[in-house]
Homo-oligomer: A and B are copies of this chain.
Amino acid sequence: MNPTCASCPVRDSAACSVLTEEERDTLALAGHTRSLKRGEMLFAAGDDQAACATLVSGALKVSAISSDGSEQILALIHPAGFIGELFAPYAHHDVVALTDSKLCTFARTDIDRAIETYPALARALLRRAQEDLLATRNLLELAGNASAECRLAALLHDFAAAASDSSCNLARKFELPLSRGEIADMLGLTIETVSRKFGKLEEAGAIARKGKRGIELIEPKLLQSISGRQFALNEHGTVI
């Protein structure tokens, strides 16, 4: 067995987990591991031949930069997530590491060949693409929501769900994966508004802030009612 794959923390959850051991070893010959420091870019919008990758550890953001320089975060990638546009001639968006990350990268041609060779891999990527689509639609639903307070409450709710290992109930305490500025970019707000709404939520008794990024849920029910959501979502965007 490929030694890198043998110790891979996402070997049972990534797209390649649907392959047999031999198939995976063959695919691994074409892959390369890569480390990214926080803030480092995997590829930029406009890059051709941008690689594809499975995220092994850490976190990535997919973002678009407007002509006026403002950034809009379009997606967060968690471990076992797959990143890369398989059929576009070049990348449409930037992909940047939110924290120090490890990836398993593949050249586009190698992935294209693997998809042809291993139908199970194509199905696994199809499933992942549909989950990404759902997650993006949930974010769009959130961004279309009128109130800034709703958006922040919903985002915190999702983070709490993502931070919980069971993913079926909320983590009571967790660290925000994003800075205030990144939260603002994600929700289409400003840093100041995000900060103020954090204050409002704390004042309302829904949450408590522990340092810059620590969050403790005081009243999850209240947070949920402020967010205007009936259902919660795990990191794959599926309802729980």
Contact = CB atoms under 8 A, between A and B. Distances in A.
Interface of A: 62, 64, 66-68, 70, 72, 74-75, 85-88, 92-93, 115-116, 119, 122-123, 125-127, 129-134, 136-137, 139-141, 143-146, 185, 187-188, 228-230, 238-239
Given A67-B229, A75-B137, A88 B188 contact: no
Closest 8 CB pairs of A and B: A144-B188, A119-B119, A129-B129, A72-B144, A126-B126, A122-B122, A74-B137, A143-B143
Contact of A140 (B85, B115, B143): B143
B131 A87 contact: yes
A145 B87 contact: no
Residue from A74, A125, A228 having most chain B Cβ neighbours under 10 A: A74
A139 B133 CA distance: 12
Contacts of A127: 86-87
Given A86-B130, A144-B187, 4 more contacts: A72-B140, A85-B134, A140-B143, A145-B188
A143 to B, nearest CB: 5
B126 A68 contact: no
B143 A144 contact: yes
Nearest to A92: B134
Nearest to A140: B140
Contacts of A145: 66, 72, 188
A203 B130 CA distance: 42
Contacts of A146: 70, 188
A73 to B, nearest CB: 8
A137 B137 contact: no
Nearest to A136: B136
A115 B120 CA distance: 10
B140 A136 contact: yes
Nearest to A227: B67
Contact of A122 (B75, B88, B126): B126
A136 B230 CA distance: 23
A137 B67 contact: no
B87 A228 contact: no
B93 A137 contact: yes
A85 B129 CA distance: 11
